[in-house]
């Protein structure tokens, strides 16, 4: 991890401050940008999100699926946590905090949007930064690739149904057409483009071409992320300045979710006698989120100025420092694994 990625939380915080400041000074400019949309999808934000996602998708190697039968325990942990535990605990925490614990601080309609944003985070397992977390714990890189590839395939089919189910449980009415369109725009198309690029680069059998290409385009992914953060917090500037406490309110359940999910997955790996090089990445994959997708879907479903969009962006702020702390915990506890 380079210095820029290592201090990503700082850059995100600076972009948040920048976005809020510019949004407060130039609200008409952000309103004009917000009006550039088609079918509830803001085209400017969509471009930045595609710039974020595409480099990640090039890293997905579907040829790795032939190794799916190797070390099934680690894969089992990841899939169960990602698809059978994490979405539902995130929904439960959102309801607990915003309909009960924080009920006196947030309007009911706004609370529902915050819950919706948290649900979208919980249903979107990470596909890119997990390679960084796996590397930092010296995990099995090939096995991490298998886990990510399978998660991406499942996400194409499972994201929309699970998100619709949980949003329905929280009484948020979501049009299926918009949700499915978001999956196509932000998962299927970038995944297909990444696959096509990988096939083109890998035609000569030279893996170094793929490595060199992804290294060249990697900075664009981070620039897209930071530009999206500036835009989103610019759109939310008035809300944030009027109610600055809202960032902390959203962050609290997200922090509880992250550390709780890690404990479940990591302890499962320990008691199931999964080797550390498989157990640690499995727990980290289950903990991290594909926040780019969550942000995109929140914008498409609820709008740029919604509480749902704000909640997913707070997920960006929380993600990096939390994951780095979990990496440190994993490295310190490595000797306890067989």
CATH fold for domain 3-336: Na+/H+ antiporter like fold (1.20.1530)
Per-residue pLDDT of the chain (338 residues; tens, 9 = 90+): 555 666 766 787 888 889 889 999 998 888 888 788 776 667 887 788 788 778 777 877 777 667 666 678 888 998 999 999 999 999 999 999 999 999 888 888 889 999 999 999 999 887 666 777 887 888 887 777 778 778 878 887 888 889 888 988 777 666 667 667 777 777 788 888 888 888 888 765 567 788 788 888 878 877 887 887 788 788 878 877 877 788 889 999 999 999 999 999 999 999 999 999 889 988 998 888 877 678 878 887 888 778 898 898 888 778 878 888 898 899 999 999 86
pTM score of the predicted model: 0.78
Measured CA distances, 286 to 110, 134, 136, 224, 300 (Å)? 28, 12, 16, 24, 25
Q: How many residues in the chain?
A: 338
38: which strand partners?
41
Question: How many CB atoms within 10 Å of residue 164?
Answer: 17
Burial string for 177-204 (b: 16+ CB within 10 Å, else e) reads ebbebbbebbbeebbeebbebbeebeee
Looking at residue 128, its pLDDT comes to: 63
Question: How many CB atoms within 10 Å of residue 56?
Answer: 25
Q: Which of 250, 281, 327, 294 is nearest to 122 (CA)?
A: 294
Phi-psi label, residue 61: left if phi above 0, alpha if psi -120 to 50, beta otherwise? beta
Cα gap 46→273, rounded to integer Å: 43
pLDDT tens digit string along 191-237? 888 888 888 887 655 677 887 888 888 788 778 878 877 887 888 78
CA 177 remoteness from chain centre? 22
CA end-to-end span of the chain = 27
**Helix, strand, or coil (residue 185):** helix
């Amino acid at each position: 991890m380079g210095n820029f990625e290592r201090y990503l939380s700082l850059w995100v915080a600076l972009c948040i401050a920048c976005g809020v400041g510019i949004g407060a000074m130039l609200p008409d400019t952000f309103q004009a940008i917000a009006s550039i949309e088609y079918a509830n999808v803001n085209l400017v934000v969509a471009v930045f999100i595609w710039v974020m996602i595409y480099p990640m998708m090039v890293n997905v190697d579907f040829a790795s699926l032939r190794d799916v039968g190797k070390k099934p325990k680690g894969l089992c942990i990841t899939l169960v946590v990602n698809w059978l535990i994490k979405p539902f605990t995130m929904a439960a925490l959102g309801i607990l905090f915003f309909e009960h614990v924080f009920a006196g601080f947030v309007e009911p309609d706004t609370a529902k949007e915050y819950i919706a944003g948290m649900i979208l985070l919980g249903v979107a397992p990470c596909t890119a930064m997990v390679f960084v977390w796996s590397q930092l714990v010296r995990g099995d890189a090939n096995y991490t690739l298998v886990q990510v590839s399978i998660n991406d395939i499942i996400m194409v089919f499972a994201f929309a149904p699970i998100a619709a189910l949980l949003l329905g449980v929280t009484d948020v009415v979501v049009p299926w057409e918009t949700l499915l369109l978001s999956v196509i725009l932000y998962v299927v198309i970038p995944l297909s483009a990444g696959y096509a690029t990988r096939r083109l680069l890998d035609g000569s059998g030279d893996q170094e071409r793929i490595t060199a290409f992804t290294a060249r385009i990697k900075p664009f992914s981070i620039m897209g992320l930071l530009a999206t953060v500036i835009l989103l917090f610019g759109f939310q500037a008035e809300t944030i300045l009027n109610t600055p406490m809202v960032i902390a309110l959203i962050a609290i359940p997200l922090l509880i979710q992250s550390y709780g999910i890690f404990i479940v997955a990591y302890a499962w790996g320990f008691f199931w006698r999964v080797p550390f090089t498989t157990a640690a990445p499995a727990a980290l994959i289950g903990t991290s989120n594909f926040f780019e997708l969550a942000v995109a879907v929140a914008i498409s479903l609820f709008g740029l100025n919604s509480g749902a969009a704000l909640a997913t962006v707070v997920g960006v702020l929380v993600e990096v420092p939390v994951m780095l702390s979990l990496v440190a915990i994993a490295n310190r506890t490595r000797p306890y694994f067989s």
